[in-house]
Amino acid sequence: MKSKGFHTLLKAWLRLAQSGDRILWITGYPISEDKKTLALIQKTTARTDIVWLGTVDQQAIAKIYRAVNTVIIPSEVYEIGPLVFHEAIASGCKVISSDIGGCKELAAYYAERSVTFKAGNDEDLSIKIINPDTNKAILSQKEVLNFETHFKRVIAKSHFYN
């Protein structure tokens, strides 16, 4: 679970004061074999601004994307092009992601809709959650695109495919 940055996300959120202005929705269940992660999970149970959604299917994920403003991708491994990043952007969400691998490249590509934080750095992530403009401007919600339109735009702008 550490490689996905789950512990970094929890630590960053727990740094923040509870606020009715933001809620962290986490898909999946609060389980881990790591004692430090279990301790973080236990701390989340006292918070009203952290909601565990359990396992959700693709239809539910699509509804979640439409309901949220920002998707956080705290990955600490080098992924080529995380699908969740594309799904979030295509759904009109803003993205806060780690600054490594495909996340870093996609954040640069979608600079007007995304911001990065130093991978594994919960303090930097908490700052970006509170004020994503500390890195670069994130514009207001754009149109929701279907995947075909989204990827056609990606390919049209790409130097690799042209």
**Cα 110 → chain centroid:** 14
**CATH class of the domain defined by 2-157:** alpha beta
Better-scored residue on pLDDT, 131 or 154:
131
| HEC profile of the chain | CHHHCHHHHHHHHHHCCCCCCCCEEEEECCCCCCHHHHHHHHHHCCCCCEEEEECCCHHHHHHHHHHCCEEEECCCCCCCCCHHHHHHHHCCCEEEEECCHHHHHHHHHCCCCEEEECCCCHHHHHHHHHCHHHCCCCCCCCCCCCHHHHHHHHHHHCCCCC
Mean pLDDT of 24-31: 86
Name the more confident of 1 and 108: 108
Residue 139 has pLDDT above 50, yes or no: no
Question: What integer pLDDT is reported at residue 140 of this predicted model?
Answer: 42
**Has this prediction a pTM greater than 0.85?**
no
State the pLDDT confidence band at 87, using cuts at 50, 70 and 90: very high
